C-alpha cells in the first residue's frame, strides 16, 4: 500500500525484476519533497500502463526500491486535443490541466491565422509528467510538436469520434460518448479559417457548442476535456 | 450590430435613456485597446441582464454613446461554485475560467484544513468583469468573500441541485441536470474534513466522481463548470 500521495514516473519500469534504482528526478522528489524514508511504499508507473508497488530500501543520493508487486493496466479510452494557439502564455496551464484530466495526446495546431510561437515542448513534457504523478495515472500524456491541421488529421485513427468546438455548433445535450478514441479540435484565439473548417468537417468532425458564452481557446479545450473525463470516469 | 468583438460592462445601463457616458475603464478600453471611432457600434451590458446596442458618438478622453436599442434578458439557470483553497496562486486562473463559463457565483470556502490566504477580491472582481466582456455575457459573476461551509450553505437556496466533487463519489454518467440552480462544493488541496463532508451531505450534496484521475482543486471546479456549461448551452 502506498504511503506517499503522488505516483512516481519511472521509465523502463516494466522491464525491472525485483529491484529498481530510481531515476534522479524521482529520487530527488522522494528525498527532498516527500522526505521519504526506507520502508515507505510508493506507487510507480512507466506512463505506459505499468503500475508497481515499490518499497524503498535506501533513500540517499541514490534511491533503490524493491518491487513488491507489478501489474499492467488495460489502456482506457483515449482523448486527443488538437488545439490552436491561445493568447499569451496560456499554454502551460492548459497542458497541466489536460494531463490531469487524463488526455492521451496534446497536439498543438499551427493554423492559417495563428501559429504557436510559445510552444515549449520540453517544459510541457515535464508538466505532463508532473501531472501524471499528482493525479495518479498510469498513462503519460504525449505532447506532440506543432503541426498543421492536414498533418494532425492524418494521424487521427479511423473510427475516432471527432468534435469541433464552435460557438455556432449544435449544443451538446449529452456529453460525447466515450468510444475507444475521442478527438476535439479547438481553433486559435483568432479562430479557424474557412478552409480549415472544411478540412475538419470533411474528416467527420461535428461542430458542438460547449457553452452559452464565447469561450477562449484554452477554456474550450479544458471544458471539453472535463466533459470527456466525467464520461469516462464510469469505465474505471 | 456590434462592430467590436467584446462586450462592455456599463453599470447603471438599465437606467439610461437615449445617451450614455461610458465609465472611465470602458472608455479607456475602447479608445486605447480597440481603437474605436465615432460611429462604431458596441454591445454593452450592466452585468445584471440588461444588454444594449450602443453607437459611439465621440471617442476622446470621454466616450459618449447613443443607446440604439436596449433589452433585458431573462436570467438563465445558475451555477454556484463553493471552492476550498487550491495550492499556490491558482485562484486567478480559476476565477477567470469560471466567469468565462458563465458561473453565477464564486464562493471561496475557508475550510478546517486550509483557508484562502491568497484571496484577492478586488483583483478577482476585475478578472470576472474582463471575462464577462470577453465571453459576451449579460450576467457578471459575483465574487463572494471567503466563508466557512456553514455560512456558505446558509446562502444556498432551497431546491438547488447540489454536488460534491469527490474521488470516491459515484461516476457522473450523465451531466448534472440544469435546474434553476446548481451548486458544487470542491475541497481545498488538503481535502474537506469529516465534519465538513457531513455538513454537505446533510444539506443534500451528492458525491460525484469527475474523472478517473485525482484532480486538483481548481481542475475539479473547472471540469464541473465545463459540464454544467455544456448542459445549459441548450437553453439559449
Residue B106 three-state SS: strand
For the cut 70, the answer to whether the pLDDT of residue A2 exceeds it is no
**pLDDT tens digits for A199-211?**
999 999 999 999 9
Burial of B43 (0-12, 13-18, 19+ CB in 10 A): buried
Region class of B159: left (phi > 0), else alpha (psi between -120 and 50), else beta: left
- Test B230 with A227 for CB contact under 8 angstroms: yes
For the cut 90, the answer to whether the pLDDT of residue B216 exceeds it is yes
For range A21-39, the mean pLDDT: 88
A226 vs B212, B223, B236: nearest CB = B223
Q: What is the DSSP letter of B11?
A: T
Q: Which chain B residues have a beta carbon less than 8 Å from that of A210?
A: 226, 229-230, 233
- Test A233 with B210 for CB contact under 8 angstroms: yes
CA-wise closest residue to A228 among A100, A134, A102, A84: A102
B226 vs A135, A174, A226: nearest CB = A226
**Cα–Cα distance, A129 to B188 (Å, whole number):** 23
Q: Chain A closest CA to B99's CA: distance in Å? A: 10
CA-wise closest residue to B106 among B81, B84, B73: B81
pTM: 0.91
In which band, very low, low, confident or very high, does the pLDDT at B1 lie, cut at 50, 70 and 90?
very low
Per-residue confidence (pLDDT) for residue B167, from 0 to 100: 85
CATH topology match: B8-72 vs B78-235: no
Residue found by looking up cell 446548481 in the block: B182
A120-129, long-range: CB within 8 Å, 24+ apart, which pairs?
A120/A91, A120/A92, A121/A145, A123/A92, A124/A91, A124/A92, A124/A95, A127/A92, A127/A95, A127/A96, A127/A99, A128/A95, A128/A96, A128/A99, A129/A9, A129/A47
CA-wise closest residue to B185 among B75, B76, B113, B111: B111
Class for the domain spanning A78-235: alpha beta
**pLDDT tens digits for B135-191?**
999 999 999 999 999 999 999 999 999 999 998 888 775 555 568 899 999 999 999
**Least confident residue range of A134-148, B38-52, B72-86, B162-176:** B162-176
Per-residue confidence (pLDDT) for residue A194, from 0 to 100: 96
Region class of A203: left (phi > 0), else alpha (psi between -120 and 50), else beta: alpha
Query: What's the whole-number average pLDDT of chain A?
Result: 91
Q: Please indicate whether residue A42 or residue B2 has the higher confidence score (pLDDT).
A: A42
Continuous H helices in B63-193:
91-101, 121-135, 149-154
**pLDDT tens digits for A116-137?**
987 799 999 999 999 999 999 9
- Test A100 with B216 for CB contact under 8 angstroms: yes
In which band, very low, low, confident or very high, does the pLDDT at A1 lie, cut at 50, 70 and 90?
very low
Per-residue confidence (pLDDT) for residue A3, from 0 to 100: 66
B227 vs A134, A215, A227: nearest CB = A227
**Cα–Cα distance, B173 to B127 (Å, whole number):** 33
Residue found by looking up cell 534511491 in the block: A63
Q: Where are the domains of chain B?
A: 8-72, 78-235
> Which residues lie closer than 8 Å to A96 by C-beta, 6 or more apart?
A127, A128, A130, A131
Residue B136 three-state SS: coil
Right CATH for A8-72 from 3.40.50.10300, 2.40.240.20, 3.60.130.10, 3.30.360.10: 2.40.240.20
Residue found by looking up cell 531515476 in the block: A23
**Cα–Cα distance, B173 to A82 (Å, whole number):** 25
- Cα dihedral B170/B173/B175/B180 (nearest 10): -60
For range A151-156, the mean pLDDT: 96
Amino acid at each position: 500500500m502506498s504511503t506517499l500521495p503522488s505516483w512516481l514516473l519511472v521509465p523502463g519500469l516494466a522491464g525491472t525484476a525485483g529491484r529498481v534504482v530510481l531515476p534522479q528526478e524521482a529520487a530527488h522528489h522522494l528525498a527532498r519533497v516527500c522526505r521519504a524514508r526506507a520502508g515507505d511504499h510508493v506507487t510507480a508507473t512507466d506512463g505506459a500502463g505499468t503500475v508497481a508497488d515499490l518499497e524503498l530500501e535506501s533513500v540517499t543520493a541514490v534511491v533503490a526500491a524493491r518491487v513488491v508487486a507489478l501489474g499492467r493496466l488495460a489502456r482506457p479510452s483515449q482523448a486527443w486535443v488538437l488545439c490552436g494557439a491561445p493568447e499569451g502564455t496560456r499554454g502551460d496551464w492548459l497542458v497541466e490541466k489536460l494531463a490531469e484530466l487524463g488526455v492521451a495526446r496534446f497536439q498543438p495546431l499551427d493554423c492559417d491565422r495563428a501559429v504557436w510561437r510559445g510552444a515549449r515542448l520540453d517544459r510541457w513534457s515535464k508538466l505532463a509528467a508532473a501531472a501524471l504523478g499528482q493525479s495518479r495515472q498510469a498513462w503519460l500524456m504525449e505532447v506532440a510538436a506543432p503541426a498543421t491541421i492536414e498533418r494532425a488529421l492524418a494521424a487521427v485513427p479511423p473510427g475516432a469520434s471527432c468534435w469541433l468546438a464552435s460557438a455556432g455548433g449544435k449544443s451538446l445535450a449529452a456529453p460525447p460518448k466515450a468510444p475507444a478514441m475521442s478527438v476535439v479540435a479547438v481553433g486559435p484565439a483568432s479562430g479557424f479559417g474557412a478552409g480549415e473548417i472544411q478540412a475538419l468537417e470533411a474528416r467527420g468532425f461535428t461542430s458542438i457548442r460547449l457553452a452559452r458564452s464565447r469561450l477562449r481557446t484554452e477554456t474550450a479545450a479544458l471544458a471539453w476535456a472535463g466533459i470527456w473525463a466525467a464520461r469516462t470516469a464510469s469505465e474505471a
